[in-house]
Structure 1
């Protein structure tokens, strides 16, 4: 694999220069702002998993910035790996502290994300979602958790459902970036960053509130 291979997958990018995607690059500040806000809300509350999510959220912003400036295969890795880490850590946190599973059970259930994604991504790929098909299983999984938790932890379930709704809007913006390129020359991908910064920060807040509400 050529890690220096150029990737042009967004409406805003017209050439291979560093600042070919200025709006897509700058709007990654949404992740850093969300991470800073949640760092202030989480610090001092003895929630290591929440703080881990805050750190990963900041890494998502940095990785996405690198991808939308360098636009290479190696930069794409810095973009997607933190997102995957965030998903896995969040699932584990919910399994451990909302479902109250034992450590090995929480880890095992988290590992099931990989076969779940392998089974659902090809199904979403049948829809006109383009590259967004790879992310589509995530809001579905969040909604599944929300439904299953609606009696056990109704406020947390509602928070998860809100997060899934924001992510669906975000995915819509990501999906429409190329199809609407002639109508909106700057594209719509930057809304993916803004809405995702909001959504990922909100998801940490949902977890934080649950931990505070169930603290003994």
Structure 2
């Protein structure tokens, strides 16, 4: 792979200069602000602060991708997102649901085949195939909410809210290129803004769970 190969996959980008995506680049402040705000709220939670660090890294990585638009920057963009998903899923399995460590680890690693299945299933579906991988996250959140709605209703509602915000965010991400002619700056900026809100909210759901429904592993 050529790590310096350029990618042009967004409506806002018109060439490969550094500031060809100014709005896409600058709206990554949403992740940075969210990470800083949540850092103080989860000062008592080790995993909460780990999530904040990864959230900060998402903002940095996405900024690099929307300025450099290269293969190495693409990796810097997607890697922290994947890490956040896996860390949060482990936190849910181990510290919120209360699974044994071995089960929490297996459940976390199980996200890979689950996401692969969703990605393959949605790939040929019009519109949904654009952001096929990302749809695996709201689907999983809704599944957990349904399974644990009686055991931890407040947390389950938090999952549903997170899934709703993310579904809207993914929809706007998917509309970026289709609406390019009528909205030249693109809708990817709303993906950044809403995801900053959504990821901060998911950390808040974890924090509230430890306060309102503490478990032995919390």
- Above 0.5 in TM-score? yes
TM norm structure 2: 0.96
What value does the CA root-mean-square deviation take over the aligned residues?
1.0
Q: Which residue of 1 aligns with 2:93?
A: 95
Matches within 5 A, 1:123-134: 123-127=121-125, 128-134=127-133
Aligned to 1:181, the other structure's residue is in SS state coil
CA contact (8 A) 2:172 2:190 kept: yes
Alignment deviations for residues 119-150 of structure 1 (CA, whole Å, 9 cap, x no partner): 11111112223441121111101111111110
CA distance in 1 between partners of 2:130 and 2:18 (Å): 22
CA distance in 2 between partners of 1:65 and 1:136 (Å): 22
Aligned length: 214
Q: Which residue of 1 aligns with 2:83?
A: 85
- Would you identify which runs of 4 or more consecutive aligned residues in structure 1 move more than 3 Å? none
Q: Which moved more, 1:93-102 or 1:52-61?
A: 93-102
CA contact (8 A) 2:152 2:213 kept: no
Q: Which residue of 2 aligns with 1:20?
A: 20
CA contact (8 A) 2:10 2:186 kept: yes
CA contact (8 A) 2:12 2:20 kept: yes
Matches within 5 A, 1:53-68: 53-68=51-66
Q: Which residue of 2 aligns with 1:70?
A: 68
Tell me the CA shift for residue 88 of structure 1: 0.3
Gaps of 5+ in 2: none
Matched, 1:32 2:32: yes
Gaps of 5+ in 1: none
Q: Which residue of 2 aligns with 1:110?
A: 108
Aligned to 1:133, the other structure's residue is in SS state coil
CA distance in 2 between partners of 1:130 and 1:74 (Å): 24
TM norm structure 1: 0.97
CA distance in 2 between partners of 1:158 and 1:12 (Å): 35
CA distance in 2 between partners of 1:92 and 1:126 (Å): 30
